[in-house]
Amino acid sequence: MLTYALRRVLSTLPVMAIVALFVFSLLYIAPGDPAVVIAGDQASPADVERIRANLGLDQPFLVQFGSWVWRLLHFDLGTSIFTNLPVSALIAQRIEPTLSLMMVTLVLTIIIAVPLGVIAAWKAGTWIDRIIMAFAVFGFSVPVFVVGYILAYVFALKFDWLPVQGYTPLAQGFWPWLQNLILPSVALGCVYIALIARITRAAMLEVLQQDYIRTARAKGLGQGGILFIHALKNAAVPIVTVVGIGIALLIGGAVVTESVFAIPGLGRLTIDAILRRDYPVIQGIVLLFSFVYVLVNLLIDVTYTLVDPRIRY
């Protein structure tokens, strides 16, 4: 297993290199010029050219790419064109809010979605099942920002229970930290709760029809034991897969959520960087996200062996 994990981690390097080349090429040919944005409306073309030269943007593609790769090999993600701060520092500033948002959303999702899916499967065809699935359809259909606005209106403006926006670092206390994350996590979590509840239901329905479940029932095992010990464990592989994919998707969802709730995370950093054509920042974030995707896939594969001993690598 360890060899397998190591091999997988090493295999991420060429993947990330290809991603890096792709992203770099894409940005190179994309319209937009950071020097124009920096120079402002008063600038002459000569001013813009001088800024481009200072930033190295006037260099040929291969020179720019080569110098970027060389820096990467020295663990240097470069410097933001706009803020003049190291990209690694910018990412470090923003990673905690995004990780916190993802973590709370994930916990919330698993706590709510898995039991809902199990109950829906158990009560398949009844009104309970229909209500849960109706909720799932709602969760899928309503955009994150709409849920976000509704939550903010009700829980922040009407009742004044929770803040509308912002982020408090965990170092300043658990409750202040959580307080800022409840509304965004619920907004972001809706779609994942819906997704995982549906997948759990489908997986459970299949398992509940198996012979060993009938045997367990015949032996007089209680409903809770059947559902959560025998059935859920055997239905876990697709659920784990979707939860894993969900983690990766959360990164995308965080972009909108962070904007709506003014959370200073990586999602907002990405959007700001794209709008300003801050190439080093975009490249750094894409590399980070690629790494996260690969890592999550690895974790999913490893988790398979834990939930299903038949799987071996």
Partner 1 sequence: MDRRTVLKGLAGAGGLALTGIAAPAIAQGAAARTLRFVPQANLANFDPIWGTQYVVRNAAAMVWDTLYGIDDQFVPQRQMVESEQVSDDGLTWTFKLRPGLKFHDGEPVLAKDVVASLTRWSARDPMGLMLKALQNELTAVDDKTFKWVLKQPYPKMLFALGKGNAPCAFIMPERIAQTDPFKQMSEYVGSGPFKFVKGEWVPGAKAVFEKFTDYVPRQEKPVWLAGGKQVLVDRVEWVIMPDPATAAAALQNGEVDWWENPITDLVPVLKGNKNIGVDIGDPLGNVGSFRMNHLHAPFNNVKARQAILMAMSQEDYMRALVGDDNALWKPLPGFFTPDTPLYTEAGGDILKGKRDFAAAKKLLEEAGYKGEPITCVVAQDQPITKAFGDVTADLLKKLGMTVDFVATDWGTVGARRAQKTPPSQGGWHMFHTWHAGADCINPAAYTALRANGDKAWFGWPTSEPVEKEITDWFAAKSLDEEKAVAARINKAAIDDVVFAPTGFFLGYTAWRKNVSGVTKGPIPLFWGVSKTA
- Binding interface with partner 1 (CB under 8 A): 31-33, 36-45, 47-48, 50-51, 54, 80, 82-85, 90, 93-94, 149, 152-153, 156-157, 160-166, 175, 179, 259-262, 264, 268-269, 271-272, 275-277
Q: Which is nearer to partner 1, 38 or 243 (CB)?
A: 38
Q: Which is nearer to partner 1, 135 or 145 (CB)?
A: 145
Q: How far is the CB of 254 from partner 1 (least distance, A)?
A: 14
Q: Which is nearer to partner 1, 262 or 307 (CB)?
A: 262
| CB contact at 8 A, 116 and 151 | no
Collapsing DSSP to helix, strand or coil, 169 comes out as: coil
Q: How far is the CB of 36 from partner 1 (least distance, A)?
A: 5
Distance separating alpha carbons of residues 271 and 281, to the nearest angstrom? 10
Distance separating alpha carbons of residues 232 and 252, to the nearest angstrom? 29
Residues 6 or more apart in contact with residue 33 via CB below 8 angstroms: 48, 52, 57, 277
Which stretches within 123-235 are classed as H helix?
Answer: 127-141, 144-151, 174-208, 211-218, 223-225, 232-234
Q: How far is the CB of 69 from partner 1 (least distance, A)?
A: 24
Q: Which is nearer to partner 1, 117 or 163 (CB)?
A: 163
Q: Which is nearer to partner 1, 235 or 281 (CB)?
A: 281
Q: How far is the CB of 282 from partner 1 (least distance, A)?
A: 12
Q: Which is nearer to partner 1, 117 or 265 (CB)?
A: 265
Q: Which is nearer to partner 1, 47 or 206 (CB)?
A: 47
Distance separating alpha carbons of residues 72 and 78, to the nearest angstrom? 8
Distance separating alpha carbons of residues 284 and 69, to the nearest angstrom? 11
Nearest to 294 by CA among 254, 252, 255, 244: 244
Q: Which letter, b or e, does each residue of 220-236 get, where b requires 16 or more Cβ atoms within 10 Å of its Cβ?
A: eeeeeebbeebbbebbb
User: Which string of DSSP letters, residue by residue, matches 87-151?
Assistant: HHHHHHHHHHHHHHHHHHHHHHHHHHHHHHHHHHHHTTTSHHHHHHHHHHHHHHHS-HHHHHHHH
Q: How far is the CB of 153 from partner 1 (least distance, A)?
A: 7
Q: How far is the CB of 46 from partner 1 (least distance, A)?
A: 10
Q: How far is the CB of 284 from partner 1 (least distance, A)?
A: 14
